[in-house]
Chain A
Amino acid sequence: MNKFALSALSLAVLTSFVSALSLGVIAIELSDIWQALLSYDATNLEQKIIIELRLPRAILAFLAGGGLAMAGLILQTVTRNPLADPYLFGVSSGASFGVVLLFAFTGVQAGLVLSGAAFAGSLLAMSALLLIAKAQLNNQVESMLLAGVALSFLFSACTSLLLYWSDPQAITAIVFWTLGSFSRADWQTLWLPAIVVCLSVGCMLLFRRTLNAMLLGDESATTLGVNVTKLRLGMLLLSSLLTAVLVAMCGGVGFVGLMIPHIVRFFVSQASTAGLLITALSGGLFMLWVDIVARTVLENQELPVGVITAAIGSVFFLTLLVLRKRTTASI
């Protein structure tokens, strides 16, 4: 059953990649895509669009979707809170703050420094979160969520303050970036998210058994020989790194980390290896299509990706609420 789901998903990802290459302002024939992939001719405009623009962009969208879904899954597992998400925990806002701070003072718009600033910001948010939650160990999960929301607002406020002081040109660039987009994808910068996302999936696979042991509580995990404190800290670091790198590249793309693991968990046991891979693939698949919609739905104009994911996310949340109410009413 899980193997079937995995192969079906892989096939869907493959066809979606082809669709992502073919769909856009200029529709490109399948044969041209094939040609561009086999023997690239830089003088051909259509082939150039595929290789230089659409392919890195599709790869970045896929990595971002899979990576954010993983970041959400990690947070949900180690905090045992199905509602955990890099956005709700303030990790993303921290990363955004780091990026905007660097941007406002130095004007740097891309590169490793930006990812570094994002990582510093997300680490700041994560450490603050851990410090607050540690003071109230008894109801760690609830206090973590509340502290996360508070931190998220705090960092957003700081970011807005920075924007208020920046010059109008910088503001336009920053605002466009915070709405989320994959338009900055190119072959020179793609390696960093690729490495970090692959590293995270590898770590999750490596530690899957000990991570799963945490799902039934810290006490239960301890009795299975797991060093809970160390594992949680390491995994929180990993999810901060993942979020930071993706936020630095793509800006604010929310709700994916919450939504995708939630949907997958509905069908597949959380503790299975297949569930992990299905989550990553579904996240990537979802984001590929969000980006296709963002590029094609308006003529001559691109819709910010973050707007689409936030819209889908809020509908998802409301549906969840209604469904929950209905099930409790029937009992």
Chain B
Amino acid sequence: MNQSVHATCSMLDVQQVGLQINQSNILKDVSFSIKAGQFVGLLGPNGAGKSSLLRCIYRFIKPTYGQIQLLNAPIERYSRPEYAKQVAVVLQDVPEQFNLGVFDVVAMGVTPHKPLFSSINHKDKDDIAMALEKVGLSHKSNQMFSSLSGGEKQRVMIARAMVQQPQLLIMDEPTSHLDVKYQIQIMELAKSLGVSVLASFHDLNLAAAVSDHLLVLQNGELKAQGAPLQVLTSELLSDVFGVCAQVTQVPNAHSEQTLVPHIRYHYGYIQ
């Protein structure tokens, strides 16, 4: 694994970050860091502050206090295009009142790399074609974005992020209303890019299977973080998520030696 080669290099450092909106604490003293090439999963029940934390990191909102560093420099110091060259984001869903071609959506990824006057050149076109091929949608390049299925749309958004050529990919529940097949496909695609990934998840088993490191948020506070095996325990599941569950260890799909936690929920809460 080439992850260990860069393992000392820090991609993102979040230090004591807090966010207050209308006197209520959305985030409180959140600190963690992401190493280069690491896949980090962000977990937490609805309203725990997952999206707010990610929004602070991709600079859509400014934290009330604390500091966030990207590649050892405070994120405010980057210009907007400079930051967009380092950090790409795939959101849960995107509005689509407009008729947009699939190619044009992916081509949006070159925006931070291009000065105002220039137009898309051959290299950009090749990059876009390659990204579309990687997500398996080359044949739909000329179709309209709105005609695609939910899974295909998210694959297009990942292709757009690939064209952006970031060091860090942030995903805010990119698979929440997709079929199981696409949930796995999207996450494995993100993992295959070889860049650092910070993704929030709804499905705990999926998070455990693909993440190197997990963060658990509850009421704006970081409740636990670490390797999936250490973090996902039945105590934490009942404490944070309010479910009764049994956690077993199963071998990873790719290597028999690595074990990942597997959650089996108990049912029958309402008698």
Contacts and interface: CB of A to CB of B under 8 A. Distances in A.
Interface of A: 76, 80-82, 206-207, 209-210, 212-213, 215-217, 219-220, 222-227, 265-266, 268-273
A223 B99 contact: no
Contacts of B79: 225
A226 B83 CA distance: 10
B148 interface: no
A268 B87 CA distance: 31
B111 A265 contact: no
Interface in B121-135: none
Nearest to A273: B119
B89 interface: yes
Contacts of B58: 222-223
Q: Assign chain B's interface to a size class.
A: 35 or more
A153 to B, nearest CB: 25
B29 interface: no
A225 B83 contact: yes
B98 A213 contact: no
Contacts of A227: 80
A76 B112 CA distance: 23
A80 B96 CA distance: 9
B100 A206 contact: no
B98 A209 contact: no
Given A216-B108, A217-B91, 20 more contacts: A206-B116, A209-B108, A212-B104, A212-B108, A219-B60, A219-B89, A220-B94, A223-B58, A223-B60, A223-B89, A224-B84, A224-B109, A224-B111, A225-B80, A225-B82, A225-B112, A269-B100, A271-B100, A271-B104, A271-B107
10 contacts: A209-B111, A213-B108, A217-B95, A219-B60, A220-B94, A223-B91, A227-B80, A269-B100, A269-B101, A272-B104
B17 to A, nearest CB: 18
Contacts of A82: 97-98
A219 B91 contact: yes
5 nearest A-B pairs in the assembled complex, by CB-CB distance: A225-B84, A269-B101, A271-B104, A223-B89, A225-B112
A271 B97 contact: no
A43 to B, nearest CB: 48
Which of B60, B99, B144 has the most chain A CB within a 10 Å cutoff? Answer: B99
A220 B89 contact: yes
A225 B111 contact: yes
Contacts of A217: 91, 94-95
B114 A209 contact: yes
Interface in B176-201: none
B183 to A, nearest CB: 21
Contacts of A270: 98-100, 104
Given A225-B80, A227-B80, A271-B104, A213 B111 contact: yes
Contacts of B60: 219, 222-223
Given A266-B99, A270-B99, A216 B111 contact: no
A271 B105 contact: yes
Contacts of B108: 209, 212-213, 216, 224, 271
B140 interface: no
B182 to A, nearest CB: 19
B88 interface: yes
Interface string B135-174: 0000000001000000000000000000010000000000
